[in-house]
Amino acid sequence: MDPNIVISNFPEIRLPEPSVKGSVTVEEAILMRRSTRGFVDQPLTLDILSQLLWSLQGSTGKRSRTTPSAGGTYPLEIIAIVGTFGVTNLSAGSYLYNPESNGLKAYKSGDLRDQLAKVSLEQSAITAAPVNLVIVADYERTRSRYRNRTERYVHMEAGHAAQNLYLQAAALGLGTTAIGAFDDTGVKDLLSIPGDFQPLYIMPVGVPAKPNA
Ligand X SMILES: Cc1cc2nc3c(=O)[nH]c(=O)nc-3n(C[C@H](O)[C@H](O)[C@H](O)COP(=O)(O)O)c2cc1C
**Residues at the interface with ligand X (CB under 6 A):** 34-35, 37, 123, 177-181
| DSSP state at residue 45 | P
Q: Is the CB of 90 or the CB of 170 nearer to ligand X?
A: 170
Catalogue the E-assigned strands of the chain.
13-14, 59-61, 64-65, 76-82, 93-98, 103-109, 131-138, 175-176, 197-206
Q: Is the CB of 14 or the CB of 152 nearer to ligand X?
A: 152
* Nearest distance from C-beta of residue 152 to ligand X, angstroms: 14
Which residue is nearest to ligand X, using beta carbons?
180
* Nearest distance from C-beta of residue 178 to ligand X, angstroms: 5
* Nearest distance from C-beta of residue 45 to ligand X, angstroms: 25
Neighbours of 98 (CB within 10 A): 20
* Nearest distance from C-beta of residue 129 to ligand X, angstroms: 12
Q: Is the CB of 7 or the CB of 200 nearer to ligand X?
A: 200
In order of 22, 52, 191, the CA distances from 163 in angstroms are 17, 11, 23
Q: Is the CB of 53 or the CB of 187 nearer to ligand X?
A: 187
